[in-house]
Amino acid sequence: MTREKKKQKAKLGGFDSIYLILVLVLLGIGLVMMFSASYPSAYYEGLKSTHYFMRQLGFAALGLVVMFAVSFIDYRRLRALSPLLMGVSIVLLVMVLIIGTGNYGEKRWLNLGVRFQPSEIAKIAVTFFFASYISTHSDKMRTFRYGVLPFVIVLGVLCGLMFLEPHLSGAILIAGIGAVIMFVGGTHWGWFAGVIGLGVTGGILAITQLDYAQARLRVWLDPFVDPKGKGWQAVQSLYAIGSGGLFGLGFGNSRQKYLYLPEAHNDFIFAVVCEELGFIGACIIMLLFALLILRGFWIATRAKDQFGALLVVGITAQIALQTLLNIGVVTGVLPVTGASLPFFSYGGTSLLLLLAEVGIVLSVSRRMKTDAPTDPKQPEESMDGEEAE
């Protein structure tokens, strides 16, 4: 093989097949389970029983096209779009407060010809903006001026807008993604300890001083204190999980999805998974998520540069945090919030954007180091593919 061909191969190799297979397997299982969980709701709403499934399938097909298209784009060329993406996400979050819509009194959705949640775009914006900023100021990340203050301002604006919707789970995810990228990027751990301390103190004060917070805490700890009111969703979820047993009732045989369990095909789809596939099936799905997350971080350690590494870290952190938050809520470990399960929950635009993010991970994996991982801060090749001197 000539030197030129070796350079070309190093410039653009094949994407990580293990990561891709895990994504496709989770997507396939997710679509099947979404169909099972959604057809009762569709039927009782006067729609075709396959209505939600066909819409999700269409977005999945489009998302796969976008995923493969993005995987061929050099991720470093997208870096210049990070300030624009952040600005657009802030504008959209402001628009939600003015003309947004929601299902239960909150405002989380925009309908601009296509109905979507701007919080999904904000997740991507935070990942790109933070990755770009840190890779530019990597040598100053342990200072307050460069390693803390800009991130606090950005996260404060985004999370503040989401609290006004209100969208607590979205704010938690945005803050979590940002914190993970900051930590990996070099922000001193002491700042995180301070923030955690303030958060714990604030939570204790809210619980001890606010009647509303105390009521929510009681329902979370024991949803059966109000099984027909605020604890209804949690109670029905626990019924679904418990009735699944070890091996489940079988695909399509869930009982709780017949209008007992709210959001059965959306935020609480994992309860239907547990009911139909049982403990064994649920564990297999959680194992697949764990393998996907571990593979994502592995790709990050082998990225050509710090920007690519932090992009993968942010996207992987999003999938990890969203999965943990959703499963925690469904199983009663965490209070009820509106977090969806990646690749499973109904939502066309969110699935489309998630697959686009997967395409970014694949783009980074195409340009992974072929030798043992070294310092991801130092790029090994320039934008035109020539080796760095």
pLDDT digits (tens, 9 = 90+) for 11-20: 456 889 999 9
Could you tell me the pLDDT band of residue 8, with boundaries at 50, 70 and 90? very low
Instruction: Summarize the confidence of residues 47-51 as an average pLDDT.
Output: 92
Could you tell me the pLDDT band of residue 214, with boundaries at 50, 70 and 90? low
pLDDT digits 0-9 by tens, 252-292: 999 999 989 998 999 999 999 999 999 999 999 999 999 99
What is the structure's pLDDT at 312?
97
- Percent of the chain exceeding pLDDT 70 equals 87
What is the structure's pLDDT at 143?
86
What is the structure's pLDDT at 203?
63
Examine the pLDDT at 231 and tell me if it is beyond 50.
yes
Would you say 28 and 338 are in contact if contact means Cβ atoms under 8 Å apart? Answer: no
Rounded to whole angstroms, the Cα distance separating 82 from 132 reads 7
Instruction: Summarize the confidence of residues 317-341 as an average pLDDT.
Output: 91
109: its two tokens: 């959705």
Could you tell me the pLDDT band of residue 206, with boundaries at 50, 70 and 90? low
Could you tell me the pLDDT band of residue 386, with boundaries at 50, 70 and 90? very low
For the full predicted model, state whether its pTM sits above 0.75.
yes
What is the structure's pLDDT at 315?
97
Instruction: Summarize the confidence of residues 107-123 as an average pLDDT.
Output: 87
Examine the pLDDT at 237 and tell me if it is beyond 90.
yes
What is the structure's pLDDT at 87?
94
Could you tell me the pLDDT band of residue 373, with boundaries at 50, 70 and 90? very low
Instruction: Summarize the confidence of residues 177-202 as an average pLDDT.
Output: 82
